[in-house]
Amino acid sequence: MKKWSGIAILLLLMMSVLAACGTKNEEDGEKASSANKDSDKKVLTMATSADYPPFEYVDTAVSEEIIGFDIDLAKMIAEELGYDLVIEDMDFNGLIPALQAKSIDFVIAGMDGNDEERKKVIDFSAPYFTPTNLVITMKDLNIEKPEDLAGKKVGAQTASIQEKGAVSIEETYGYTVESRDRVPDLFQEIRSGHLDAIVIADAVANGYLDASEDLSSFELPVEHKPALSIAFQKGSALTAEFDRVLKELQDNGKIDELSIKWFGN
């Protein structure tokens, strides 16, 4: 009897252990299922060049987060379409190659959607902003109009709308264009005297002009008016999705609200 009692107790213990294992496996399965559900969420990878305030930049005094007009707009569209957004920072001239390599889903970085050469390799959304290009110089150089640029060195960001605009009238006004990868470098170069003038979008230049009394500006006289647009891989289905939401945001005044927030107008 003692022998059979011992066997019965052992069987009960084994059944308890198996039941516990079963419960744990079920819990683990539920956790795995939950994790799989999270991983199934739609994610978009966006690239920008975060040196272009107030469109995209990092305020290091506050955090390392990329902020700005373009960033808010991208987040607004992604949320409306039900996507999670991952943001990557890279040099401006690396953005289109990244799209072509399909390592990112879209670009928002103050890019001109009217650029016919770019349209051959990527697609653009409808325009969301139309800037004016300004020539920025040091006041003491007395460069006040395009004719004063003759024989001068004029800087612009590599592969930007401003570089294209500056080059388009380079021969007309007799200056030479030199490119730099990042906007802050351009301002450093006019202060150091390595460049005589630089070409910057008005929405970007205004912050520098307001903060520095030793800078002056005038409008770059080009016929081509840039139209800032979002860039996508060639043939991407996202283009139509983004266009639909962009129109809704324009119609309901949300883009105007962003403009007031970041540009004050």
pLDDT of residue 224: 67
Condensed to tens digits (0 to 9), the pLDDT of residues 154-179 reads: 999 998 889 988 999 999 999 999 99
Same domain, 73 and 185: no
Condensed to tens digits (0 to 9), the pLDDT of residues 15-37 reads: 554 455 454 444 444 443 333 44
SS3 176: strand
Q: Between the CA atoms of 213, 218, 224 and 227, what dihedral angle is there, to the nearest 10 degrees?
A: 30
Same domain, 175 and 233: no
pTM: predicted TM-score of the whole model, two decimal places: 0.73
| 228: nearest Cα among 162, 168, 158 | 162
Same domain, 119 and 151: no
Q: Cβ distance 48 to 107 under 8 Å?
A: yes
Same domain, 147 and 254: no
% of the chain surpassing 70 pLDDT: 83
Query: Do the domain assignments include residue 104?
Result: yes
Query: Do the domain assignments include residue 12?
Result: no
Query: Residue range 174-195: average pLDDT?
Result: 96
Same domain, 156 and 105: no
Range(s) of the domain holding residue 64: 43-130+227-263
- Strand blocks (E) in 126-168: 133-138, 153-157
Burial 69-91 (b: 16+ CB within 10 A, else e): bbbbbbebbbebeebebebeebe
- Confidence band (pLDDT; 50, 70, 90) for 241? very high
pLDDT of residue 164: 87
Same domain, 93 and 139: no
Same domain, 47 and 126: yes
- Strand blocks (E) in the chain: 43-48, 57-58, 66-67, 84-89, 106-112, 122-124, 133-138, 153-157, 176-180, 197-201, 215-219, 228-233
Number of domain units in the chain: 2
SS3 133: strand
CA contacts within 13 A on the Cβ side of 187: 19
Within a 10 A sphere around the Cβ of 206, how many other Cβ atoms?
18
CATH number for the domain spanning 190: value is 3.40.190.10
Same domain, 103 and 78: yes
